[in-house]
Amino acid sequence: MNHPRCIVLVGMPGSGKTTVGRELAKRLGLRFMDSDHEIEVRTGVKIPTIFEIEGEEGFRKRETHTLDELTHESGMVLATGGGAVIKPENRALLSSRGVVIYLNVPPHVLWERTRHDRSRPLLQVPDPRGRLQQLFVARDPLYREAAHVIVEGGRGTPHAMVRMIEKELQTLCEH
């Protein structure tokens, strides 16, 4: 099977981009990259610290720069951060350089997966559950716009998600 040169996972925080992406890469024998991890390595600090010092705007600049650089490489599965699709330039960049897969997971599942996690600064607010809902409504159309494939990810295990994505990629490659 001919794999596309870059497989990009997009979706909300908690949709499984990092977890599923890592397993998908292993399965396909491709390199795994996570844009958030890459930003942390480059800055030498964790994402919440970047938000504290530079605000969301500073983080978004770093994110755009990192996505641009990473998508020049080939043979890779790239997990993006949940907000990677906010900027039109990022959406254009991702969908022109890779096959973009949207992990579509409903807000109540996202909440269950992220409620005890303190590593996502946008969810450190008095009503994180409401925030997730708001972000979902605002971003769902943007994920759809950027995506070549949409995978429903609310119920299956990460392994089942990998199998679904593999099937979709196979179908794409046959056409």
Ligand X SMILES: O=C(O)C1=C[C@@H](OP(=O)(O)O)[C@@H](O)[C@H](O)C1
Binding residue (CB under 6 A) for ligand ADP from 129, 158, 166, 168: 158
Q: Are 103 and 151 in contact (CB under 8 A)?
A: yes
Residues written for the chain: 175
- Give the binding range for ligand ADP (CB under 6 A) out of 17-25, 39-47, 56-64, 135-143: 17-25
Q: How far is the CB of 98 from ligand X (least distance, A)?
A: 17
Q: Please, which residue, 19 or 66, has the CB nearer to ligand ADP?
A: 19
Q: Three-state SS for 30?
A: coil
Q: Quick one: 41 exposed, middle or buried, by C-beta within 10 A (0-12, 13-18, 19+)?
A: exposed
The CA radius of gyration of the chain, in Å to the nearest whole number, is 15
44 is in an annotated binding site: no
- Measure the CA–CA gap between 29 and 7, rounded to whole angstroms: 12
Q: Which of residues 69-98 bind ligand ADP (CB under 6 A)?
A: 79
Site string for ligand ADP, 101-120 (x = CB under 6 A): ------------x-------
* Interface with ligand X (CB under 6 A): 13, 17-18, 36, 47, 81-83, 120-122
DSSP code string of 85-148: TSSHHHHHHHHHHSEEEEEE--HHHHHHHHTT----GGG-SS-HHHHHHHHHHHHHHHHHHH-S
Q: How far is the CB of 61 from ligand ADP (least distance, A)?
A: 21
Q: For binding to ligand ADP (CB under 6 A), which residues are involved?
A: 11, 13-20, 79, 113, 153, 156-158, 161
Q: For binding to Mg ion (CB under 5 A), which residues are involved?
A: 17-18
